[in-house]
Amino acid sequence: MPTQGYQKGIQVFEIDTPSIIVDLDIAEKNIKKMQDFANSQNVSMRPHSKTNKSPYWAKKQITQGAIGICCAKLGEAEEMAMAGIKEILIPNQIVGKSKIQRLVDVNKISKVIVAVENKSNLNELAQAFKNNSQILSVIIEVNVGMDRCGVELEEIVDFAKLIRTKNGISFEGIMGYEGHTVNINNYEDRVSETTKAINKLIDAKNLLVENGIEVNIVSASGTGTYNITSTIDGVTELQCGSYIFMDGNYLKIFDDFEPALSVLSTVISRRENRIILDCGLKSISLDQGLPEVIFPKGITLTSLSEEHSTCLIDDPQNNIKVGDKVLVRPMHGDTTINLHDEYFVYRKGLFEDSIPIIGRGKFK
């Protein structure tokens, strides 16, 4: 049910602020466009839900043809499994007894695939799943140049062989995330650096195959590299997430997908050419730069505090006044979405529904 008594069909600008609003027509168009592209490249879509944090969007992606989803954290996976998502890849390491037991419980509901890179962690996973008469599917994370998590090429064959000796564990393939290349502005440079990164992943696959180890999954890609990674022979699936909404940072890179999400805010003060909005650091993120005002035009956001945004009006004759609504686009959608309880979705300017962001704050 819509929250706060909002009725379907009201103008979206009637929603209280600050709130995240999403143009459903655009978001659905983005979902279809990405899926159609993946189909044309003969790769699967396994969209990353760390952006949208909601089974509402995950189910739309699966309806279009996605084989499952990715969840950054176990807490997100728990919520998605309980909402009926049947296959979840956690492209992250699940470490510690309490988390591993939670992973066992999630795997009873949905098929879970987990990234591994550490022998002691692998042993703990295998023991827990063996004790619970379950099988956990795992993929090896390969360091493709981001230097965050992942094994190196010289380790991968021995690590894969070790996995295959473990009861309670099933080896399914490998993954790598070329996150250090997704925001490279120059396309030729992005192609070059992404190709170097993914070639490391393909080298890892080839090493395993040469040693008699079957590799069913080769998973990679962010939104910024979807049309590069997908063309490299051997990649089987894409983990892109931000394409569904786009944000200011990705729009600096390309316009392949349309922006669907903004933060609706209200002018609460005006002094000459300065206005103050009611969105601040508690409702819109700053980690990738200052947000931008997208409506009305001619307004520049200059700073954020906890509950306020300060903006300058380019034209002193602009008649914007206290009580008027303003649309602000975050530079980083993921971290902004994590601040909110719900989306307010609309079509053609008319409110349609409120969608709980059940994955927000689920970082454990």
Q: What is the pLDDT of residues 224-265, one digit of tens each?
A: 999 999 999 999 999 999 999 999 999 999 999 999 999 999
**Starting from the edge strand earliest in sequence, which strands make up the sheet with 44-45, in order?**
44-45, 237-238, 217-220, 169-175, 136-141, 111-116, 87-90, 69-70
CB atoms closer than 10 angstroms to residue 191:
16
Q: How far apart are CA 45 and CA 36, in angstroms?
A: 10
Cβ(230)–Cβ(238) under 8 Å? yes
Question: Given pLDDT bands bounded at 50, 70 and 90, which one contains residue 5?
Answer: confident
Three-state secondary structure readout of 213-240: CCCCEEEECCHHHHHHHCCCCCCCEECC
pLDDT at 141: 98
Q: 């947000």: which residue's tokens?
A: 291
* Backbone CA torsion sign across 126, 97, 360, 248: negative
pLDDT at 2: 41
Residue 318: half-sphere exposure toward Cβ, Cα within 13 Å? 22
pLDDT at 4: 59
| Alpha carbon separation from 170 to 129, 322, 356 (Å, rounded) | 11, 60, 34
* Backbone CA torsion sign across 363, 171, 195, 236: negative
Residue 258: half-sphere exposure toward Cβ, Cα within 13 Å? 13
Burial of 243 (0-12, 13-18, 19+ CB in 10 A): buried
Angle at 52 between CA 50 and CA 57, to 5 degrees: 125
User: How far from the centroid of its chain's Cα atoms is residue 118's Cα?
Assistant: 25
Give pLDDT tens digits for 113-125: 999 999 999 999 9
Q: How far apart are CA 158 and CA 160, in angstroms?
A: 5
Per the structure block, which two tokens stand in for 44? 């699967």
Q: Which residues of 290-319 are buried (b: 16+ CB within 10 A; e: fewer)?
A: bbbbeeeeebebeebeeebbbbebeeeeee
Cβ(276)–Cβ(18) under 8 Å? no
Question: Given pLDDT bands bounded at 50, 70 and 90, which one contains residue 14?
Answer: very high
Q: What is the DSSP string of 87-101?
A: EEEE-S---SHHHHH
Give pLDDT tens digits for 200-215: 999 999 999 999 999 9
Q: How far apart are CA 239 and CA 218, in angstroms?
A: 11
pLDDT at 16: 97
Q: How far apart are CA 258 and CA 28, in angstroms?
A: 10
